[in-house]
Structure 1
């Protein structure tokens, strides 16, 4: 199978390349090449008979945001560039477009597991622009007979993970007590192994056509359980102490880190039954194995 992948140099893209190596014919597509191809009247023969385009490229959460117009910074990549890639897929006569979206389209927290049937409720520019891209792609692909598959993962972890998850790992490996013993929230995550496996399944499975999927490791854990897992695998003392969640929330708010409080204290669960029932998918590795591979690097 011949696959065209955007964002191949990113966190998910680099891992996907390793998975694909030797199994499928992989072509990489960056923004400059996209613009060049769209301006051409003909295409190099290497793009002939491409089966699926996997669109991973996007502007994700920036820890230290510097853009003056934050929404436009996200929209220019997550919406505008996505539609250019879709136009290229049309011209290349690609049959299927797999779009990596985000659970942030559904929202930031949930009292019950999110499903594909829930009404979207994005709370930031990232989630909003991912939703706008989904909406525009549905119209474009329907009008041009392209099969569209939308995948909404939660926080993705694995070797080389960055941002808040990397910072949490570093914190867990210090001999310091952490005040999360009383945090009994539940969070869904997904390992690179499980996400890459699901992306490949969606690139060819007949039943995936024109569907939206919420996906995770299917093992929800509390922040306390996550810290314990990291410290046990790292052979560190657990060192968890109990501080009421409302006090932790107050501390985070005072320090200007309310968004971090949501991730560490709030609940966000994903129901993956649609992927399991419709596509017969099962997680390739367990959450424990995913954290082990992350720490092993």
Structure 2
């Protein structure tokens, strides 16, 4: 019997690329890399051009059993669009639904949508994590667009019989991570003193290896059908703890100044950086008990190992 074909969109992105490599290594499925522009997968697996904004989404869904949709207009820190929500909807809602309709019409059995924890909201009280089946509360255009895409996919699944699986990760890190996590690595590697030595928040993160493990489990697990799952490493850290763990992995002395949280928040408010203060000082925890109960899934990689892999890749890039 031939291995099932799994199409992965956004195969050039951080999550999509890691997923394709995972499927290649697992050798249980035949991955098809759907990517915009050049890709590293030529010669390793089938590759198809893909752009969510094109009128004709895809013509390579024949014999594909599962679609894993990671492509998206991602959250950006300094949004420049006049109507950000309209721009997010164009890609994350309209483009996603266009792809899903093509998938359903082609007989795709399961559609796995990589959404975002922002569908649940922006923060949690310490010790009261988000759960997969909580009432959604998206607060920014990116989160709203992901929620609207989820709702459209669930309706399409109901109407067509195509199974829909939704996975909402928080911050994803791992080898090749960019954005704020990369900035933290750079600060720590340079030994820059940071005013984050007294932060007692709790935040869930998910290593790319743990996220790809969860997604791979959802490809063919019967209990995953038409479910929503949250993703995390199963260990929550304060910002201070995170920086200390990364510094240890870097083998660098950590220089964290014990500035009170209230003072950081006041300074951020004065500078118009409230969103930055929320990310640094606020809590955002997720509960993954549903994953354990329904799928028998627990994160296979512990936080220290995942951080060590992330740091190792970062240091390797610095020497080239």
Which of 19, 29, 42 pairs up with 2:22?
Answer: 19
Match of 2:199 in 1: 183
Which of 73, 81, 85 pairs up with 2:99?
Answer: 85
Greater shift in the superposed pair: 164-173 or 199-208: 164-173
Q: What CA deviation, in whole Å up to 9, does each residue of 1:22-48 have, x standing for no partner?
A: 51211133127974466xxxx66xx43
Structure 2, unaligned runs of 5 or more: 35-49, 314-320
Match of 2:118 in 1: 104
Match of 2:6 in 1: 3
Greater shift in the superposed pair: 95-104 or 236-245: 236-245
Q: Secondary structure at the match of 1:27?
A: strand
Q: What CA deviation, in whole Å up to 9, does each residue of 1:110-137 have, x standing for no partner?
A: 0111002321111100000000000111
Distance in 2 between residues matched to 1:61 and 1:32, nearest whole Å: 16
Residues 1:71 and 2:76 are matched in the alignment:
no
Greater shift in the superposed pair: 216-225 or 164-173: 164-173
What TM-score, normalized by structure 1, do the two folds share? 0.94
Kindly report the root-mean-square deviation, in angstroms, between the aligned alpha carbons of the 2 structures.
Answer: 1.6
Given that 2:52 and 2:95 are in contact with CA atoms closer than 8 Å, whether structure 1 keeps it comes out as: no
What TM-score, normalized by structure 2, do the two folds share? 0.87
Residues 1:134 and 2:137 are matched in the alignment:
no
Q: What CA deviation, in whole Å up to 9, does each residue of 1:271-293 have, x standing for no partner?
A: 00000111000111011111111
Given that 1:34 and 1:84 are in contact with CA atoms closer than 8 Å, whether structure 2 keeps it comes out as: no
Q: What CA deviation, in whole Å up to 9, does each residue of 1:218-249 have, x standing for no partner?
A: 11000000000111111111222211101011
Distance in 1 between residues matched to 2:220 and 2:66, nearest whole Å: 8
Q: Would you say how many aligned residue pairs link Structure 1 and Structure 2?
A: 291
Given that 2:52 and 2:91 are in contact with CA atoms closer than 8 Å, whether structure 1 keeps it comes out as: no
Q: 1:171 to 1:272 in 2, by over 3 A?
A: same
Q: Secondary structure at the match of 2:6?
A: strand
Which of 227, 237, 240 pairs up with 2:256?
Answer: 240
Distance in 2 between residues matched to 1:287 and 1:226, nearest whole Å: 10
Match of 2:170 in 1: 154
Q: What are the equivalent positions in structure 2 for 1:264-283 lying under 5 Å apart?
A: 264-283=280-299
Distance in 1 between residues matched to 2:220 and 2:269, nearest whole Å: 45
Distance in 2 between residues matched to 1:100 and 1:202, nearest whole Å: 11
Given that 2:201 and 2:237 are in contact with CA atoms closer than 8 Å, whether structure 1 keeps it comes out as: yes
Distance in 1 between residues matched to 2:139 and 2:256, nearest whole Å: 31
Match of 1:31 in 2: 51
Structure 1, unaligned runs of 5 or more: none
Given that 1:190 and 1:215 are in contact with CA atoms closer than 8 Å, whether structure 2 keeps it comes out as: yes
- Alpha-carbon offset, residue 66 of structure 1: 2.1
